[in-house]
Amino acid sequence: MIQLIKGFKDILPEEISLWQEIEAAAREMFENFGYREIRLPIVEKSELFARSIGDTTDIVEKEMYTFDDGRRGLVTLRPEATASVVRSYIQHKMAAEDPIRKFYTIGPMFRRERPQKGRYRQFYQIDAEVFGIASPLIDAQIILMLVSLFERLEVTDVSAHINCLGCPTCRPFFQKALYSLLEAKKDALCENCVRRSEKNPLRTLDCKVPSCREALAEAPSILDFLCSDCKTHFDTVKQLLDKQNIHYQVDRHLVRGLDYYTRTAFEILTTSLGAQNAVAGGGRYDGLVQALGGPSVPAIGFAIGFDRLAEILSQTRTAAAKRPKIYMAPLGETCRTLAFEWACALNLSGVPTEMDFEDRNLKHHMKRADKFHAAHALIFGDNELTQGHAVLRNMETREQKEIPIVNLVTHIINLIR
Ligand code: AMP
């Protein structure tokens, strides 16, 4: 038997109502804040990700699904959405008309990571991005929107962590200080961190290897190196969040796995998923639009791990399966044909109706109706037809009522809806 590939998964009908509930809540929240949906291709030129996410990140170094598409060169299954949103923003010259744009997009991402609970090779993200606003007001608002979405969904076991990653003016000073420490602690670092020390020292702060964590516990924080503009920006974000009663912790060592972040960076962490504790992450990326060939436009965004959020919610919620309102229980060939016509008409009129497509006896029909948790069964054989009515049985109370055959669909619609 052919099985699915490790790290990939099926989202089964039993789980889907939870996914739909999350998606509906996200859409409603984002639309109320003025975000508009954008749908983008799953495959992009590899260069887009190499240039935006960064050559020395885990994603670009070893996690991308890349293949040679002949004349089109190397293409990659998108590992995240921001790069594509930025590409689209630039390509469609959106800034020319109005640089301020707010988007959201929901869909699958692909990373060739080591699969484990909460970490998949195809996973889904709910992504929101804002372009054209440099003010810290939007940083605070996007964090408020994200935290409020979790509250609406009644996810309690989460906390917001924030940090400021500086800008091209102040970050080099921090990188230098960090680099000195990395040099001194070289022997304690993993291979990856040694290699990254030179090219991308910030990423070492994100390393999960215990010896690296220990060696870098006393690492300097970027917060001690911020230029006055970055400091004012971060202070304002914090004050705005305080005013809105949004709880957060300042995490002095928080960095993000992608290179393009500047200033505000944030993550939503949970304790209910074991090792994979991040449910959402995001931040400001003021230089990315320009770095990818667009105008100089500031931007900020986040991505929620849809699978992880669904997993958290499934721990406390049982998904209610969709129940049919009517189960057709025809007895005999003539009645079955009639049941088919009525079932189609009821389905089209918005009354969920099921039927057995084979000829069955009453006992079988009742068993199936119970299995479907149907609210009612409509029972009729040749006798009922000659008498001009069918029997509508309430499957819970067992109460029965006669429904005229003439205009039966209309009678049922009036009774049920
Ligand atoms: P990132 O794009 O790496 O900032 O990730 C944003 C969010 O996506 C994370 O906080 C996770 O919740 C989720 N995520 C990232 N990678 C995976 C993965 N391999 N499997 C499941 N969820 C993931």
pLDDT digits (tens, 9 = 90+) for 240-249: 999 999 999 9
What pLDDT does residue 125 have?
Answer: 98
Identity of the amino acid at 408: L
Say which CATH topology domain 326-416 has: Rossmann fold (3.40.50)
Reference 339, options 297, 369, 312; nearest CA is: 369
Q: CA dist 348 to 142, 171, 202, 344, 373, Å?
A: 41, 61, 58, 6, 20
The DSSP 8-state label assigned to residue 60 in this structure reads I
pLDDT in tens, 109-143: 999 999 998 999 999 999 999 999 999 999 999 99
Tokens of 49: 């990700």
Identity of the amino acid at 77: L
pLDDT band for 280, please (50, 70, 90 cuts). Answer: very high
Distance of CA 163 to the CA centre of its chain: 23
Tokens of 23: 């998606």
User: ∠ CA 49-55-61 to the nearest 5 degrees?
Assistant: 90
Three-state DSSP class for 257? coil
Question: Cα(324) to centroid of ligand 1, in Å?
Answer: 37
Residue carrying the six token digits 């639009």: 289
Question: Cα(407) to centroid of ligand 1, in Å?
Answer: 54
The dihedral formed by the CA atoms of 131, 134, 135 and 139, expressed in degrees to the nearest 10: 50
The DSSP 8-state label assigned to residue 116 in this structure reads B
What is the tally of helices (H) and strands (E) in the chain? Answer: 16, 16
Mean pLDDT within 363-367:
96
Average pLDDT, the chain: 94
pLDDT in tens, 156-182: 889 999 999 999 999 999 989 998 988
Reference 157, options 1, 379, 309, 3; nearest CA is: 309
pLDDT at 81 over 80: yes
What pLDDT does residue 91 have?
Answer: 98
Tokens of 247: 């709880």
Question: E strands, 257-388, where?
Answer: 262-270, 278-284, 299-305, 326-330, 353-355, 376-380
Q: Is the CB of 77 under 6 A from ligand 1?
A: no
Q: Is the CB of 311 under 6 A from ligand 1?
A: no
Mean pLDDT within 363-381:
96
**Considering the chain, what percentage of its residues have pLDDT values greater than 90?**
80
Shortest-distance Cα residue to atom 2 of ligand 1: 80
pLDDT at 402 over 80: yes
Around Cβ 6, how many Cβ atoms within 10 Å? 10
Ranges of each domain in the chain: 13-170+226-314, 326-416
Q: Is the CB of 111 under 6 A from ligand 1?
A: yes
What pLDDT does residue 173 have?
Answer: 93
Question: Cα(279) to centroid of ligand 1, in Å?
Answer: 7
Mean pLDDT within 226-239:
98
Q: Is the CB of 87 under 6 A from ligand 1?
A: no
Using a 10 angstrom Cβ sphere, with 0-12 exposed, 13-18 middle and 19 or more buried, the burial of residue 227 is middle
pLDDT at 318 over 80: no
pLDDT at 187 over 90: no
Q: Is the CB of 125 under 6 A from ligand 1?
A: yes
What pLDDT does residue 208 have?
Answer: 81
Are 326 and 377 spatial neighbours (Cβ–Cβ below 8 Å)? yes
Tokens of 242: 């305080």
What is the spatial order of strands in the sheet that 262-270 belongs to? 36-37, 101-110, 122-131, 299-305, 278-284, 262-270, 158-164, 249-250
- pTM of the predicted model, to two decimals? 0.92
Tokens of 61: 């170094």
Alpha helices (runs of H) in 130-247, residue ranges in sequence order: 136-152, 171-184, 191-199, 210-215, 228-243
In the CATH scheme, what is the code of domain 13-170+226-314?
3.30.930.10
pLDDT in tens, 28-58: 999 999 999 999 999 999 999 999 988 878 8
